[in-house]
Structure 1
Amino acid sequence: MNVVCPHCLKVNKIPKKDSYLKANCGECKNSLLDTTPIELTEQTFDHVVVNSDIPVIIDFWAPWCNPCKMMIPIFNEVSNKYSLKALFVKVNTQEQESLASRFLIKSIPTIAIFKQAEEVKRVSGALDPLKLSSLVNENL
């Protein structure tokens, strides 16, 4: 399966397994198991979404939004459970206005799930860890 390195954004082809003890990027040698959400821009969005064989969980947010700020630790915590099962990314709608417009983001935070480069689910509003985990599990 193809996975995008969270460090250098290089596409890596790795065998599909139930779990991984080790998986490093062929380009930068950093771990592909890193679950820290990555910040996408207009320049990197399509590359990451199109080249990920695992679901991409996108948090559309803005730094001035209090519910968005409440979601940061929840999004980070839940991402830790899905190493090489889902890729967690963030889009700052204040800085990436064209992406917010392209995806018709009307309220934030909005969580969108993409599979095979297509949006399959969208939920607006802050979610607790259980609801976010359930949403991800439904779309694995």
Structure 2
Amino acid sequence: MSAPLQIQCPHCLRTNRVPADRLGDRPNCGACKRPLLAGDVARLDDASMAAFVGQSDLPVLVDFWASWCGPCKMMAPQFEQAARQWRGQVSFAKLNTEEAPRAAGQFGIRSIPTLILFRGGREVARSSGAQSAAQLSAWLQQQLR
């Protein structure tokens, strides 16, 4: 059995330990029993942001957005599609900057949508502006080399 990875549940945001060789077995969250790696997008707030990105052994891509933002609304289904395509490889999350101003300020969000890719809790890449699912995938491939 391989060493366990820490994976955050996109539904209840709890940390789960999953052996790396069992990632393809469609593991469920130990707390809420929902799928961990189905490509669902987590909804973060000021309280959950640091723990979600800091405790995950998978890279985490966070979409900083706002409900009044037209490009954010246009990109939302593309972000969801990319999350399904990258399931088990990258965790996807959204953070509403109006509801979580502390986190938005901490990461210096000046325009939305802004995407930040985290590894080990640290920012490794950033991109601003709406993107299609194909553009998101190409950007992720480039960043995760």
Q: TM-score range by the shorter chain?
A: over 0.9
Asked if residue 13 in structure 1 is aligned to residue 4 in structure 2, the reply is no
SS at match of 1:38: strand
The answer for the alignment partner of 2:128 in structure 1 is: 124
Distance in structure 2 (CA, Å) of the matches to 1:53 and 1:40: 17
SS at match of 2:53: helix
Asked if residue 69 in structure 1 is aligned to residue 73 in structure 2, the reply is yes
1:97-123 deviation line (CA, Å, top 9, x unaligned)? 111111100100001000000000000
Distance in structure 2 (CA, Å) of the matches to 1:39 and 1:28: 15
Where does the alignment leave 5 or more consecutive residues of structure 2 unmatched?
A: none
Q: After the TM superposition, which of the residue ranges 33-42 and 83-92 deviates more from structure 2?
A: 33-42
Of 87, 112, 116, 1:112 maps to 116
1:137 shift after superposition: 2.0
Distance in structure 2 (CA, Å) of the matches to 1:83 and 1:17: 15
1:18 shift after superposition: 8.8
The answer for the alignment partner of 1:51 in structure 2 is: 55
Q: TM-score, normalised by structure 2?
A: 0.90
Asked if residue 35 in structure 1 is aligned to residue 50 in structure 2, the reply is no
The answer for the alignment partner of 1:99 in structure 2 is: 103
Residue identity opposite 1:68 in structure 2: C
1:34 shift after superposition: 2.6
Looking at secondary structure, tell me which structure has more helix per residue. Answer: 2
Contact 1:6 1:34 in 2 (8 A): no
Q: TM-score, normalised by structure 1?
A: 0.93
SS at match of 1:84: coil
Residues 18 and 27 of structure 1, relative CA distance in 2, 3 Å threshold: closer
Q: Which runs of 4+ in 1 moved over 3 A?
A: none
